[in-house]
Structures are given as structure tokens and as C-alpha cells.
Amino acid sequence: EAGVTQFPSHSVIEKGQTVTLRCDPISGHDNLYWYRRVMGKEIKFLLHFVKESKQDESGMPNNRFLAERTGGTYSTLKVQPAELEDSGVYFCASSTSGSQPQHFGDGTRLSIL
Amino acid sequence: AQKITQTQPGMFVQEKEAVTLDCTYDTSDPSYGLFWYKQPSSGEMIFLIYQGSYDQQNATEGRYSLNFQKARKSANLVISASQLGDSAMYFCAMFRSGNTPLVFGKGTRLSVIA
């Protein structure tokens, strides 16, 4: 069984540019989560999809972040325009139900210059 | 609101020795779950062990065991017979019942010394 895959693994862009991160969850996992870890701080929740619907987006920092999950399969997280404080590692995780462990991808390391 | 506290930013342990990584939590929900994840230097997050709030026995997975003390709201991870490959960041996390997002602690960096 393939795990959660994230693309790209690294992205370096300039302030003001746009970046799109992609997450492919484990097949059959309805729940998909995005998290972010800024250097030296805790891993913070961004949002949660159940299939194609946004269940909880209370962690999204501002309207420069847009997440979609087309057809309840893969998800994208777009940052437009990127700011310096958006730098960090963005993790995607998926699970079958809340009592099951969330399986994480390897993360996308985003650097804004 | 839920909160996870990991008070040990860094820990050292001799190879083959056991080590305990501390985790305390705060929640008013009667139903919740606790996880430990390992993040090696390569960056991926690896699930280690899970404990449900209603589980009667402490969870064990190979060399990992969770010392769950509900009254003290602690869920310490015990790694027995440490190996060099155990060197990594370790995160304690919790969620309320249902498909809710995880709340993470700041993590503990474990270094295993030969």
C-alpha cells in the first residue's frame, strides 16, 4: 500500500510568487489534513477535509492560503502571494477515521526568499 | 482547548538503555486519543503508538510503550533498548473523539550515544 505522498519535497520561491503544494492521501482515506511547522515551533493544524468537503479550516492563517480536494482524492494547497512568514514544512496526513492514526507524508519544505 | 506539553527539548541516552520521553496533556473532553510520532532527520513523520482515553491497558508496540496515567494527564513514551536509529525528534499529539485534527507538542530531540 502506497503511503501519503507530497510534492514537491522542496520549494524555494520569492516573496510575492505563487506556490502550489500537492498531497496524495492513502487510497480509501476519506480524512485529509494539512499541518505546518514553522522553524522552532509546534506543528500546527491548517485544515481538514472529509472527502471533498472542508470539515474544519480554522487553522488557515489568512486568505492567501487556498486548499482544494478535487473529487475527494488528492488535495492542493496554494499560497498566493507568498510572504516570508509562510516558510516552513507543510505536512499532509490522512486517516480512515478519527480513532485511527493519521499517516503523514514526508512534507514539503517551503522557503520564501 | 486542548494542549500538549513536552518539557524536554533534548534528551541523551546510552545505546541499549531505556529512555522515557515526557508528555502531559490538557483537555476537558472525556474521550480523546494520544499519539506519538517520530521524525528522523530525513523529515518524515512516523507513527509509533496510540492510546485511547478509555483503554484499560497501556499501549505497547515492540520496543515502544506508553505509560498512560490518566489522573495525572500524562502519556510518557518509553523506548527500551535504545538503538542509534532511534535518534530523532519525537512528538506527542492528541485529538478529541471523532475526526478532529491533532494538537502537537513542541517535540523532544532524542540522541542515542554509542
**3-class secondary structure per residue, B67-79:** EEECCCCEEEEEE
Q: Convert the pLDDT of each residue in B46-69 to its tens digit.
A: 999 999 898 889 999 999 999 999
Q: Which residue has the higher pLDDT, B60 or A98?
A: B60
Side-by-side strand order, sheet with A5-7: A5-7, A19-24, A75-79, A65-68
Judge whether A107 and B45 are in contact, CB under 8 Å.
yes
pLDDT confidence bin for B111, thresholds 50/70/90: very high
Q: What is the mean pLDDT of chain A?
A: 92
> In the predicted model, what is the mean pLDDT of residues B7-36?
94
pLDDT of residue A1: 65
Chain B residues whose CB is inside 8 A of the A97 CB are: 99
Of B43, B97, B104, the CB nearest to A98: B97
pLDDT confidence bin for A98, thresholds 50/70/90: low
Contact check, Cβ <8 Å, B106/A41? yes
What gap in Å lies between CA B90 and CA B34, rounded to an integer?
13
Judge whether A64 and A81 are in contact, CB under 8 Å.
yes
pLDDT of residue A2: 78
Of B42, B43, B102, the CB nearest to A89: B43
Contact check, Cβ <8 Å, B102/A42? no
